[in-house]
Structure 1
Amino acid sequence: MGKFLGGPSAVLIAAGAPALGESVATAVERRPFPSPVTSAEVRAADATDHDPDVEAITRQSCAEALECLASADGVGCVVVDDALADESVPDCVASIVNEHPDLPVVVYAADGDEALASAATRAGAFAYLPQPADAVAVPDHGDLLDTVGEALTVHDRRHRAAVQSDMLDAMLADLEVPLYVKDDKARHLKMADVHGAPDPTDSIGKTDWELYSWDDESKVEALGDDRLVIDEGESIREREERHGPPEAARWLKTTKVPWRDGDEVRGLIGITQDVSDEKRTIRDLRAQNRRLDDFASFVARDLRNPLHVAMAYHEFAREGREGAAETVADALERMEEQVENMSELAASGGTAPAPVGGVEFHSFLQVAWDEVATARATLEIEMPPATRLYTNRLQLKPLFESLFENSVEHAGPDVTVRVGFTGDGFYVEDDGPGIPEAEREAVLEDGYTFTPTGAGTGLAIVSEIAETHGWDFRIRERGDERAADGDAAPETGERATGDDSGTAEPGDSGGVRFEFGNVLLVADPVSVGETGPPRPLTTGTDVGDALNTGESSHDAATGRWTLRAAGDNLIGQTNEFHFRWAAIRGPCRIEARLDAFDSPADWSKAGVMIRDTATEHATFGYVGVAGNGRTEVLWRGEAGDPTRRQLLESGERSFEWFALERTGDRVTAFLSTDGEDWYAVDQRSVALGESVCVGLAACSIMIGAYCEAVFEDVTAAELVEE
């Protein structure tokens, strides 16, 4: 690196005649060459604008010259005469230029041979000069040294550019800093080799429009920013951009500045960082703080009734009234239970793990109802008895108690409350006065109340718990759900609804209906179990317009399937992933154990899938694991719908076994820790044809990067229904 700061400091003379070599070397060392350093900044920093001492090195053959160049760092020019013993002049020039392309070679020939001059130039010589008569006796070799001085300056410029390019390449390759350079047409010239970014080589010459699979609006915005920087010379600093659907948005922070050559803008230099994790952390912290505040308010509210009972009956107990002490004790026990439950829930940040197998919905609803209902109030549960909800009981308790208390307080002591299925979740409705449409958003705000003595926290808690679970929550008037959902009466056990789907009879009006969608809910948790002969997964294909081609293979000796997959995502309208599948007609099951998963991103995916077709917009069900170890279920129930996602809070448990069963239009997702005991975690209606694609799916979600998933114990087969 001394040559980079001090410039070239030596001239190598390859002369077959030793006398000529010594003559030229003496002239070189006597000549006061001006500094060849072409960088004004380096000259100023190291005071190298003085005339440097230039060393002359002599060798008698081309081989010796090449050996010297391999170890001598300061050489800035090579002089070659035409008396070399081992190689011709053109061959020697070619050998030096091939190994040291930034090093000028000057040919100093004994006579002016035009053919030799032409051959040397074609070989890459910097200059061809004829020797004067009796060259050995010439004291200064003036024309030659003038050319050598020019060559030293040219070499400094070439060497400096090469070193700077190498430094930039090293920084782009090794520092994991997402830098890039674009030309005046916004085409990529250089790009950092960053994990998850496009391949730097494949990116050359492409604009963002050609390189990325963002939506068109995002691409237009990015190209507009490029043109602003290039055409107007304006900088864009730390602009935040969101790409993708809300369920799987990526946040990028971008800075772009003009790349100038004097007054001319040659392109731009930019840095784009993925700040999605930072955004999610901030969002989660804010949500957690809101939950903790709301939980504190809820605790105060929920403790009010048993506290009033305890205070009142304490006075009765002091008066000796029979049974009063037991009533006080019961109230205190209820308060203690509520404090413990809410403390546990608050400590978990609202995301405590769900029990294996979920919550028995019927019995849970009855317990929650008994806590708040009056003697004349009625609860109707329009769900099969085996229905299970995959979440934590502590998270459900405040939600249903708030909803039931809301109905009792506002609809009266003889209210009828009904709980039933929606298309992808459940509803709670009553026959009370309802909530005016204009107030349905306001009632979800903390502190809003219908009555002067109300605390105004109940429905805010409901909304917060629904948001924590990723549920869709909406308020409607009882009776208007028929037009909205289009639910039809299902067969017994179907996911859509109960016997009458909870719809109001003709003429019914009034009352309020709280709907919760995208819920991990199972009406029939029992696996059909029996399967026919396994089907081979014969087809491997990339679904969607994946930037990099995926592949899959099967090791017959071990039974292992390996998927090496790219793909942008499996969320919203985007379905880009690698799929290995078999075509199966009618009821079917796919199960597999994920043995290993090398993922480039937190939300890379690997799991099992049942899909209507292998096209990007087909309906499907999926269950598997994300790169961060969390279990995901993904659904597209109708063609053209966005993909919906739910995450399972599994605590310390790690599920390796995943399965899907299809019966009719119902698909059920199962998990297991050992491949023996299976637990249904979600069940939804998916519009499927008679024949479906059943198999393994993997997606990296990082542009230009691959994930690798290894599956064992894979079985895809028809279900044998009794």
Structure 2
Amino acid sequence: MSHLLADPTVALVVGGSTDDRDRVRGALPDAIEAVAVADRDDLTERLSARNDVGCIVAVGVDEAGFDDAVEAARAVSDHLPVVAYADDEAVAAAVAGRADCRYLPRSASVETLGAVVDDAVATFRERRQAAADSGILRTLLEEGQMTMFAKDEAGRYVRMADVPYTPDPEEFVGKTDPEVFDHGSDADREAYEDDLRVAETGEPIRRQIEHFETQGGDHWSEVTKVPWRDGDGRVVGVVGYALDVTERMQLKRRLEEQQRRFDEFASYVSHDLRTPLQVSVGALERAREGHEEAFDRIERANERIEEILADLSALSKGDRTVDLSEEVLDVLDVGVSSTELAPLVEQVWSVHGTDDATLEVAVPEGTEVIAETEAVRPLVENLLKNALDHAGPDVTVRVGTTDRGFYVEDDGPGIPEAEREQVLEAGYTTTEDGTGTGLAIVAETVDQQGWEVDIRESETGDAPGARFEFTECPVVVPEPAEPTGEPVALTGNVDVGDVSVAGSATPGAADGSWRVVGDGRDIWHDIDEFHFAYVELDGPVRIEGRLDELEAVHEYSKAGLMVRDTLAEDAAFAFVGATGDHGTETMWRHEAGAAAGSDQLEEPYDAYPWYRLDAVDGTVTLSWSTDGEDWHPIDQRRIDLADPVVVGLAVCSHSADETSEAVFENVTVTELDPLD
């Protein structure tokens, strides 16, 4: 595009005699440099050597000579004009069928010729710049991988960039944000209203932060919108771009959370220590009176005080990072911790429960919440204490699980709907001696863990009651099963999705070893592009194995175990495996056609090289291990799977033109028999 650096002020004069060419050269305006050329070869050579040609003047040519001049011009630019200065009806007819060409009879004055050439050069200058601008914009829209857009005055898309994780650009045309997106919030409507405001007022919006939610989590964009004006300066729409600032906003959130924990730490300590201190003081009086059993209560209360101090210290620090040595990895559980729910609830109740109150634990044995005990215990403790404080001395408290979390409910008077958001705020209390910190601790834990909490009426007892239901909270309910026979071999391999480079899967020398090479932009949202070595089986089914090597070409290159409903691109699936730089990743699409979500666990690389995936009656449990013997669940999802399923090894490079290679060892696929 270096020709854009040169002003097109040169007219090449070809054809006719030397006198004819000199006459034309003398007729052109002073601002245009006229250069005479002898023939077509000379014309072609000069066009290839110069970037400042703005017009070709063909003098006295016949139709063939005119065609030669046009062909030479089109080799340089689709818009380079050719002015035919001739007396030939065939040439006049040929000009009429050619864009950017003009005909002028030899009888016209040289002044008229000069004006025609001057106008042709000016038109070419404008069209050349417009074509360059259009090409630049088209390249940015198609190749820039940055969200750019143009909308009309009604907020409807006219053009949209082709970027990953968004619908096809053609699907945007003629639609507004609320019609294209479905983020489940007011973000789309607010963005649409901003479009209308910019188009109406002509005032730009610059670097505005917009937040929206997808199945993959929270995302933020920094959006700039400016008025789109026509040649007369009238606003005809909006032009803008959006930058993904999710990482920046997540960091900001973490810093704000740390500051808030620091500010609230003292009040939390005071609140949570109060009950065991009261128990200890009361028991001390009974001990002085000679009641020896009181010493046991004092001991339990003191142990609880120590636990509270440890728990609140961890809560104040949030997610902890530790520089782990190889020796520490052998003995320390890193990455994702889990808490067995029922024993924790019963232990907390043993400290705070009363003789008249009743606890019902409707939790299957072995059910685990995928979170540290230090985070779960304060939440459970404050919910149980809240029920005991507000629902009466003979309250019944019930704890149970849901499809995607757990709940704590009571049979007390409940919480009025108008107050359900307020009760989670720090300082809110309905009693004169209350501190308002108990349920705020619950809200803090929920926010820290990335869960959701919904307060509603209880399903326990006749009274309205209060029910705290926690969702987006990984809870693993045991699905006991055992293999029914010998392992089943992987029998096929295929590229799923529109990959650029074909993948491959090759069994290794040892039993259960595989080398899998895969391309693909991603496995997330509406993109399924990867290589898959698989076998088709009727469920229930288990696959496990060790990821020995991953040659990552991107921080989100991934390799692991997958179960899918079918081999279709938008099939329901679950995945567990490793990424290049973000530790273990779990992924899922709950039903065909839905957006796929993911979690990265960010544990130290190679801390958990073993992975397992169990699919039993639509429940998929994802686990990891350090040695292939002691397994720890890390997630469980309901996935819409129907027999037969396809299960195997998946590798995605997270790149359009590079492949990643993974080596798996000890891979086994077995059919399962669920245990009663």
TM-score where L is the length of structure 1:
0.67
Q: Separation in 2 of the partners of 1:2 and 1:710?
A: 41
SS in 2 for 1:100: coil
The answer to whether the 8 A contact 2:40-2:68 is kept is no
Query: Residues 386 and 641 (structure 1 numbering): CA distance in 2 closer, same or farther, change over 3 Å?
Result: farther
The answer to whether the 8 A contact 2:364-2:477 is kept is yes
Q: Separation in 1 of the partners of 2:127 and 2:335?
A: 68
Query: Residues 541 and 402 (structure 1 numbering): CA distance in 2 closer, same or farther, change over 3 Å?
Result: same
The answer to whether the 8 A contact 2:367-2:476 is kept is yes
The answer to whether the 8 A contact 2:284-2:298 is kept is yes
1:661 aligns with 2:661: no
Q: Separation in 2 of the partners of 1:152 and 1:216?
A: 51
Q: Separation in 2 of the partners of 1:299 and 1:185?
A: 55
1:114 aligns with 2:69: no
Query: Residues 228 and 174 (structure 1 numbering): CA distance in 2 closer, same or farther, change over 3 Å?
Result: same
Q: Separation in 2 of the partners of 1:428 and 1:695?
A: 38
**Paired AA for residue 623 in structure 2:** F
**1:607 CA displacement:** 6.0
Task: Give a deviation string over 1:420-441, Cα, whole Å, max 9, x none.
Answer: 544444444678x564556655
Task: Give a deviation string over 1:246-276, Cα, whole Å, max 9, x none.
Answer: 7745555462624324276665534345555
Task: Give a deviation string over 1:511-558, Cα, whole Å, max 9, x none.
Answer: 86654444333343877467531343567766xxxxx79998543466
Match of 2:505 among 555, 561, 569: 555
1:80 aligns with 2:58: yes
Unaligned runs of 5+ in 1: 34-50, 134-139, 317-321, 482-503, 543-547, 570-574
**1:188 CA displacement:** 6.1
Aligned to 1:206: 173
**1:60 CA displacement:** 1.7
**1:461 CA displacement:** 0.9
Query: Residues 589 and 359 (structure 1 numbering): CA distance in 2 closer, same or farther, change over 3 Å?
Result: same
Farther off after superposition, 412-421 or 150-159:
412-421
Task: Give a deviation string over 1:104-155, Cα, whole Å, max 9, x none.
Answer: 323445xx3333554566576834456579xxxxxx9555444433333333
**Paired AA for residue 564 in structure 1:** G
Task: Give a deviation string over 1:183-218, Cα, whole Å, max 9, x none.
Answer: 78988665556666677xx64993347998524999
Q: How many residues align?
A: 642
**1:699 CA displacement:** 10
Q: Separation in 1 of the partners of 2:619 and 2:2?
A: 73
Query: Residues 116 and 386 (structure 1 numbering): CA distance in 2 closer, same or farther, change over 3 Å?
Result: closer
**Paired AA for residue 10 in structure 1:** V
Aligned to 1:180: 149
1:259 aligns with 2:251: no
**Paired AA for residue 59 in structure 1:** V
Q: CA RMSD in A?
A: 5.8
The answer to whether the 8 A contact 2:149-2:158 is kept is yes
Correspondences of 1:582-601 after superposition (within 5 Å): 582-591=535-544, 593=547, 595=550
SS in 1 for 2:230: strand
Aligned to 1:300: 270
Aligned to 1:126: 101
1:58 aligns with 2:36: yes
SS in 2 for 1:667: strand
Correspondences of 1:392-431 after superposition (within 5 Å): 392-406=372-386, 419-428=399-408
Aligned to 2:49: 71
The answer to whether the 8 A contact 2:517-2:662 is kept is yes
SS in 2 for 1:719: strand
Match of 1:148 among 117, 120, 129: 117
**1:62 CA displacement:** 1.7
**1:661 CA displacement:** 0.8
TM-score where L is the length of structure 2:
0.71
Work out the percentage of aligned pairs sharing the same amino acid: 32
Q: Pick the structure with greater CA Rg.
A: 1
Correspondences of 1:156-195 after superposition (within 5 Å): 156-166=125-135, 168=137, 178-181=147-150, 191-192=160-161
Query: Residues 259 and 91 (structure 1 numbering): CA distance in 2 closer, same or farther, change over 3 Å?
Result: same
Aligned to 1:358: 338
Q: Separation in 1 of the partners of 2:602 and 2:172?
A: 46
SS in 2 for 1:99: coil
The answer to whether the 8 A contact 2:553-2:653 is kept is no
Query: Residues 129 and 393 (structure 1 numbering): CA distance in 2 closer, same or farther, change over 3 Å?
Result: same
Aligned to 1:533: 488
Farther off after superposition, 525-534 or 580-589:
525-534
Query: Residues 357 and 552 (structure 1 numbering): CA distance in 2 closer, same or farther, change over 3 Å?
Result: farther
**1:403 CA displacement:** 3.5
Q: Separation in 1 of the partners of 2:260 and 2:425?
A: 12
1:629 aligns with 2:576: no
**1:392 CA displacement:** 1.3
**1:660 CA displacement:** 1.9
**Paired AA for residue 445 in structure 1:** E
Q: Separation in 2 of the partners of 1:645 and 1:345?
A: 27
SS in 2 for 1:154: helix
Q: Separation in 1 of the partners of 2:598 and 2:33?
A: 73
SS in 1 for 2:229: strand
Q: Separation in 2 of the partners of 1:448 and 1:647?
A: 34
Unaligned runs of 5+ in 2: 287-291, 323-332, 508-513
**1:560 CA displacement:** 1.4
Aligned to 2:435: 455
